[in-house]
């Protein structure tokens, strides 16, 4: 566990004024900050201004690439505190400019009618074996930069049900088991925050599958544009979760992806939607 990044520590915020927080990123992901990192810290900043309520949805826009070499300021606007619902807006700032914003809604816990979609039948994470071993079997066929990026220690354990090489043409859906590697603790808000972090992983790859391209294809420009998560039920993100993804549409240099997150016993705990840039430039 020594080589595993502890996301609870990495994502921690420093309060610097009322409604203003400072966060930091790591430079291990390359020249820009991973989108899930900013989503998670913005949700944490909103939670710092909310009491006794649970986030049920976030809606995010990525405006500029994040710079991993400098801190990120998170400014929270306390838009509304109602009898049942609380609304917050969070702006992430670097170099004096917005790089990201989030709108979040929080609700007093209550009981209500329930139904949910069924989880697809797929091999269990135990049947699939270690995700790192899956990757090692494919890594020799990857370009050098992708080999280096995929070989580094990662905070989220992933076990793809239907992995592919980026040059393979596949239908636009994927299933991935995932969980946080380092212990999260007992705070349910942190389990939700780390799920939000992981929700930005692998979505654009799903949209690229029919094209036979990947993020390391020469000339490929890809980035998250907007991202939404609806949290349906609490869960323990140190346990395995199945991330079911499909891309109903790609057009105009953009890919649209829908996701569902299930616990291993089949409870639907979150739904995700994202649109991202998938643009092929001439090399």
Per-residue pLDDT band for 165 (boundaries 50, 70, 90) equals confident
Whether the per-residue pLDDT at 103 is higher than 70: the answer is yes
Name the residue with higher pLDDT: 199 or 139.
Answer: 199
Residues 6+ apart with CB under 8 A from 48: 13, 15, 21, 76
Active site residues: 200, 224, 274
In Å, what is the CA distance from 67 to each residue of 37, 41, 149, 220? Answer: 12, 15, 18, 20
Helix (H, G, I), strand (E, B) or coil at 32: coil
Residue pLDDT, tens place only, 33-58: 999 999 999 999 999 999 999 999 99
CA atoms 31, 104, 274, 132: torsion sign = positive
The pLDDT of residue 206? 92
Give pLDDT, residue 25. 87
- Structure confidence by residue, pLDDT tens digits, 211-235: 877 767 777 788 899 999 999 999 9
User: Which pair of tokens denotes residue 25?
Assistant: 């990123």
Distance CA 191, CA 209 (A): 30
Residue 191: other Cβ atoms inside 10 A: 20
The domain locations on the chain are 7-110+125-280
> How many other C-beta atoms can be found within 10 angstroms of the C-beta atom of residue 174?
23
How many helices (H) and strands (E) in the chain? 7, 12
Which of the two residues, 1 and 129, has the higher pLDDT score? Answer: 129
Residue 261: the pLDDT is 98
Residue 233: name the closest of 89, 123, 105, 114 by CA.
114
Higher pLDDT pick, 154 / 33: 33
* Model confidence pLDDT, tens digit, residues 240-254: 999 999 999 999 999
Q: Is the pLDDT of residue 157 over 60?
A: yes
Domain 7-110+125-280, CATH class in plain words: mainly beta
Instruction: Please check the confidence at residue 104 and state whether its pLDDT lies above 60.
Output: yes
Mean pLDDT of the 76-105 span: 97
Q: Which pLDDT belongs to residue 137? A: 55
Q: Please state, in angstroms and rounded to a whole number, the distance separating the CA atoms of residues 7 and 179.
A: 12
Kindly indicate the confidence band of residue 96, based on its pLDDT and cuts at 50, 70 and 90.
very high
Do the beta carbons of residue 181 and residue 125 sit within 8 Å? no
β-strand pairing of 85-94 with 156-160: unpaired
Contact 175, 247 (CB under 8 A): no
Average pLDDT in the chain? 89
Confidence (pLDDT) at 59: 98
Q: What is the pLDDT of residue 2?
A: 47
């Amino acid at each position: 566990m020594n080589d595993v990044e502890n996301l609870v520590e990495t994502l921690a915020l420093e309060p610097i004024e009322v409604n203003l927080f400072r966060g930091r990123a790591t430079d291990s992901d390359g020249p820009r900050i991973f989108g899930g990192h900013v989503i998670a810290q913005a949700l944490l900043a909103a939670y710092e201004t909310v009491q006794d309520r649970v986030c049920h949805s976030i809606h995010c826009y990525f405006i500029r690439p994040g710079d991993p070499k400098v801190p990120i300021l998170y400014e929270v606007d306390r838009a509304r505190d109602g009898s049942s619902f609380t609304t917050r807006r969070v702006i992430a700032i670097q170099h004096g400019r917005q790089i990201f914003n989030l709108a979040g809604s929080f609700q007093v816990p209550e009981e209500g009618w329930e139904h949910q979609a069924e989880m697809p039948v797929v091999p269990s994470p135990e049947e699939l074996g270690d995700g790192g071993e899956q990757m090692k079997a494919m890594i020799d066929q990857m370009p050098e930069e992708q080999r280096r990026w995929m070989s580094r220690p990662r905070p989220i354990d992933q076990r793809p049900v239907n992995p592919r090489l980026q040059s393979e043409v596949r239908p636009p859906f994927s299933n991935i088991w995932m969980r946080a590697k380092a212990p999260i603790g007992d705070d349910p808000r942190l389990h939700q925050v780390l799920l939000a972090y992981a929700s930005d992983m692998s979505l654009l790859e799903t949209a690229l599958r029919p094209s036979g391209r990947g993020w390391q294809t020469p000339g490929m420009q890809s980035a998250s544009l907007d991202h939404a998560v609806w949290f349906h039920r609490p869960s323990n993100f140190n346990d395995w979760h199945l991330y079911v993804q499909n891309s109903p549409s790609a057009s105009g240099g953009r890919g649209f992806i829908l996701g569902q997150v299930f616990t291993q016993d089949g409870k639907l705990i979150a739904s995700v939607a994202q649109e991202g840039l998938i643009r092929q430039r001439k090399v």
